[in-house]
Structure 1
Amino acid sequence: MSKTIKRLSLVLMLLISLIPNSIYAEEQPIKIWINGNYVNSDVSPIIENNRTLVPIRVVSENLGYNVIYYPENKSIHIAYLEIVNDVETKDDSIFNTFHMTIDNPIINVDNPKNATSSTKILDVAPKIINNRTFVPIRFLAEEMGLNIDWDSENLTVVIGSGYNK
C-alpha cells in the first residue's frame, strides 16, 4: 500500500472511532418511577421541547386520580379518588382537579376542597400519540403537590420519594 492510502486509512479509522456509540444504539425508553415502583405502560413517555410527556392515564391512576376522556370535544378531566396510600403531598393540592383539551396549552386547575380555581398555560399542549393522551408530567405532578425529578443518566421520571439511582 502506498503511504497516502495508509494515511487515509488511518484518518478514516480515527474519524470512525470518534463517532459516539449512541448513534448505533437503539434509543432507550424513558421510564416512570412513582413512590417506590416503576410503572409499566404500553406506551413509553416522550420528550418534546425539553418537556417529558407521559401517558396520563397510567400515571394518574397510579397516583390515585381518575381520568375521563371526552372524545366529542377532545377534553380530559382528572380528579382525585380519595383512595391513595403512601402519597407524600406538599399541601392540599392533592385534591386539585384538572380540565384540559387536546392540542390546547390552557389548563384549568380547580381545588374543590379550598374552593379555588386557576388557569395555567402549559409549555407543551396535551396530545394524542398512538391512541394515548400525553401531557407534560412536571406541571401535573407539581400541581398535585408531589415531588418530581429527572434522572438523566437512567432516563427516568421520578415522582415521589425514595428513589435511588
Structure 2
Amino acid sequence: MKKFLALVLSLVLFVALPVSAASSNDVKIWIDGEFVNSDVPAYIDKDRTMVPIRLISEHLGKEVSWDDATRTIEIKENSGDKLKSIVMKVSDEKVTVKENNMDEKVINLDHAPEIKNDRTFVPLRNVAELFDKKVSWDAKNRVAVVGEGYEKKSNGKLSTKEILPYLYNEDMAKKSLDEQLKYEKTMGEELSKEFPGHTNKDVEVAISWLSYHKAGYFTEFNKDNANKKAIDLLLGDKLNYGFTNKGSVLGVRTTDKDLTYPRRFTGVSNEDFMPTMLYFDYYPNYDGTISTFLFPLHDHFTTRDETVNTYKKIFDNPRNVQLGDFTREEIQLILEQVQPIKYLDDYDSIE
C-alpha cells in the first residue's frame, strides 16, 4: 500500500547539475529567488549535485508519494487544467511521464534514484526540467540554480531590505525597548537565507561595516582610509563583534546607580591593536538606518562626573548611518572574516 508523504518528510531529491571535481560539501541551492537551507547537505555524485526533496515541496509546490513495496517515487503537479506526474524507481534510470490525457512516455534520467542513510534521492535537473523549470549551475560560487532571476541578483547589488527585512520593520520602532531587544535577538539568531552558513546577525554586521565605510566615517581614524576598500580595512584580520548589554556600567568610577548603557549595543572592530584599530558601536532603528557611536576604548577618566558627562554626550548624539546595498561579492568577502567574540545574554530578565 502506498504511503503518501509530504515532501517535507524523508525523501530527498538530488539536483542533477554538472559540476567540477571540487569538494562536494559546499554546494548551495537557490530556488525561485532565494537561497534555501537543507536538513541534509547537498553533495555530488557522478557529476550531479544532490539536494533534499523537501525543498521541492516547500519551494516548487509539488506533491510526492512513496510506495514502500515497489520503492517507487511519484511527483505530481496539479495546477488548474494542467495535471502532470513523473514516476521513478530506486536504482532505475527510466522515468515515466504522464501529462493530462496524453499517452505516457518513458525517458532516461541522468542519475537513477538511490537510497543513502535511509533517505531517497533523485536527480533534480531532470525533475525540475520535467516540470518546466530552468536549471543552471553557477560554477564560480558553486550554486545550483532553479528558476529565473538569479543572474540579475548575482551580478547587481543585493537589496539589504530584502536580505534583512527585520531592520526595516517600522512597526517595531513603536514597540517598547524590551520588545525590541527580544526581536533583535530572535531575528539575529536566525540563519540567513541569502548567505547559508551565516546568521542574520553575521550579515547585519558585515553590511553595517560596509555602510559605515561607504559613509566615509573611517576617515576620522585615518584620512587614507577613504582610498581603501572596506575589506582592506580589516588588515587581513577578523571583523570581530560582541555586545554591551543594557544596564552595563560605564567604567570603574561609576556603578549601576549612575548612568548606564540604555540598551544593548553591538560593537564591531577590526583588531585589538589600538594604533590601527577601527571600531564603532551601533543599534538598529528599524527604518533602514543604524545609530552609531564611538565610545572610549579605555577608562581614562579621573572622576565619576567626567565619566557620566562624557557618555551622556555620546548617548545623546548618535550618528545615523543608512544601510547600503552591496554586491554579493562585497558582502561575502566581509562575511568570511566576521567573528562573534562573545554573546552576553541580557534577555533572561525580560518577561
**Cα RMSD for the two superposed structures:** 2.2
Q: Cα gap change, 1:47/1:139 in structure 2, threshold over 3 Å: closer, same or farther? A: same
Q: Cα gap change, 1:37/1:134 in structure 2, threshold over 3 Å: closer, same or farther? A: same
Percent of aligned positions with the same letter in both sequences?
A: 38
Q: CA shift at 1:48, angstroms? A: 1.4
Q: Cα gap change, 1:29/1:81 in structure 2, threshold over 3 Å: closer, same or farther? A: farther
Counterparts of residues 1-165 of structure 1 (less than 5 Å): 28-82=25-79, 95-112=83-100, 115-163=102-150, 164-165=153-154
- Which amino acid letter does the alignment assign opposite residue 147 of structure 1? K
Q: Which has the higher contact order (CA 8 A, sep 6+)?
A: 1
Name which one, 1 or 2, has greater alpha-carbon Rg: 2
**TM-score scaled to structure 1, two decimals?**
0.69
Which one is further off, 57-66 or 139-148?
57-66
Q: Cα gap change, 1:53/1:65 in structure 2, threshold over 3 Å: closer, same or farther? A: same
Q: Cα gap change, 1:118/1:61 in structure 2, threshold over 3 Å: closer, same or farther? A: farther
| Alignment coverage as a number of residue pairs | 130
- Which amino acid letter does the alignment assign opposite residue 94 of structure 2? I
**TM-score scaled to structure 2, two decimals?**
0.34
Which runs of 5 or more structure 2 residues have no equivalent in the other structure?
Answer: 1-22, 155-351
- 1:112-155 CA-to-partner distances (Å, cap 9, x unmatched) read 2x524210111210011233221111111111111111111222
Q: CA shift at 1:39, angstroms? A: 1.8
Q: CA shift at 1:59, angstroms? A: 2.1
CA distance in 1, matches of 2:58, 2:78: 9
Contact 1:33/1:157 (CA < 8 Å) preserved in 2?
yes
Larger strand percent: 1
CA distance in 1, matches of 2:32, 2:77: 17
Contact 2:66/2:72 (CA < 8 Å) preserved in 1?
yes
Which one is further off, 42-51 or 55-64?
55-64
Contact 1:95/1:144 (CA < 8 Å) preserved in 2?
no
Larger helix percent: 2
CA distance in 1, matches of 2:24, 2:95: 31
Q: Cα gap change, 1:104/1:63 in structure 2, threshold over 3 Å: closer, same or farther? A: same
Residue in structure 2 matched with residue 15 of structure 1 by the alignment? none
CA distance in 2, matches of 1:130, 1:95: 32
Contact 2:25/2:42 (CA < 8 Å) preserved in 1?
no
